[in-house]
Amino acid sequence: MSLDVHRGFTVLGMIMADQIYQIEGGCWWLVHPDWNGFSVADLVFPSFLFIMGTAIPLAVNKNKPLKLKNVIRVFLLFAIGFVLNLLDSVFNFS
Taking only the tens of pLDDT, the chain with its 94 residues reads 888 898 888 888 888 777 766 666 666 666 666 777 677 777 888 898 898 888 888 777 777 777 888 889 989 999 999 998 888 888 876 6
- As a whole number of angstroms, the distance between CA 59 and CA 73 comes to 15
Catalytic residues: 32
**Is the Cα torsion angle 79, 84, 88, 94 positive or negative in sign?**
negative
pTM value is 0.55
- As a whole number of angstroms, the distance between CA 54 and CA 77 comes to 20
